[in-house]
Amino acid sequence: MKTTAGDYIKLHFLVFLFGFTAILGKLISLPNVEMVFYRTLLAAAGMAVVITITNRSFIVPTRSDFFKMLFTGLIVAAHWLTFFGSGRLANPSVSLVGFATCSFWAALIEPIVKGKKIRPMEVGLGIAVLVGLYIIFSFNFDYPLGLLLGIASGLTAALFSVINSKMVTRISSFTITFYEMIGACLGILIFFPFYKSSFSDGSLHLAPSPADWFYLAMLGWVCSVYAYSQMIDLSKKLSVFFIQLALNLEPVYGIGLAILIFGKQEVMGWNFYVGTLVILTAVALYPILKRRFEHHFNSPLQ
């Protein structure tokens, strides 16, 4: 399918929305796991309403597809748990930069899954992202565990993005989103007893405040029902690597918003911004290098 300027504009709008999720995650007073549970529950309910109103189908082609979507939902849940966990242990800026490794993981995973050659240019840009992270990580950095969780969120994001890019050629992005949100919600429910006994204070915090409900609704309906389904739909036209590379712009939007909202606690050392600049340079170089090496991009796996 031919890409248009509108596709690129929509992609960057979605990146902005995803960058805003880190801010919402910090504004919500619920613990991380309970927050993700409500996000997935609201997203599944909202997606069901959208499918019903637009007369789309809940039916999936095969039983295998059904279970694949539920399993992918578990990966989505792991992504959100690590992403928001990173923001809580460190701050939204750190979680966003750790998440930026998704393009490196996508450069390795997508060609293997789709039976194509691993593209040296994409791996090189992915390594540039890792170099940026090393600069951030190596100079008296105060949030190592937070950054590691952010990197884990990048890996899981690349995994479910590659899986979805294959399924969306046969199944509606709305249907995929619905069943994956159900899978994610069920995964959190199954995890609750272990979480309660081993990680929480011995109880579950399932009573959101009025402000929490407002932020959860934005997470579930704007940043999940709309943004997640539209991102899946864009994977029909754009490569997973390019989408993940564009998502590296999340730190620009997210860090800017975080500084505006949270103030001085989001201001980092010089190494953080140098590393972030390296990561964003990789994003800017991609379309230039892609045009130059276009004839190598669709080579089958030998």
Report yes or no on 195 lying in a domain.
yes
Phi, psi of 300 (to 5 degrees): -70, 165
Q: Determine, yes or no, domain membership for 233.
A: yes
Q: Look at residue 190 and give its three-state secondary structure.
A: helix
- Closest C-alpha among 85, 96, 171, 86 to residue 133: 96
Within-domain flag for 302:
no
Q: What is the DSSP string of 128-172?
A: HHHHHHHHHHHTT-S-HHHHHHHHHHHHHHHHHHHHHHHHTTTS-
Host domain of residue 17: 5-295
Dist CA 95 CA 89 (whole Å): 9
- Does the residue 110 lie in any domain? yes
Task: Judge whether 69 lies within some domain.
Answer: yes
Q: Would 55 be classed as within a structural domain?
A: yes
pTM passes above 0.95 = no
pLDDT by residue for the chain (302 residues), tens digit each?
677 778 888 888 888 888 788 788 888 999 889 999 999 999 999 999 999 998 988 999 999 999 999 999 999 999 999 988 888 887 777 787 788 778 778 878 888 887 777 778 878 887 887 787 777 666 556 778 888 898 899 899 999 999 998 899 899 999 999 999 999 999 999 999 988 887 777 788 889 999 999 999 999 999 888 988 898 888 888 888 778 777 767 766 776 776 677 665 555 677 777 877 887 787 677 767 766 765 554 544 43
CA 213, CA 207: separation in Å to the nearest integer?
9
Give the model's pLDDT for residue 185.
96
Can you give the pLDDT at residue 152? 93
CB hemisphere CA count around 181 (13 angstroms): 26
Number of domains into which the chain is organized: 1
Q: Is residue 300 part of a domain?
A: no
Ramachandran region of residue 140, left (φ > 0), alpha (ψ -120 to 50) or beta?
Answer: left
Find out whether 180 and 73 touch, Cβ atoms under 8 Å: yes
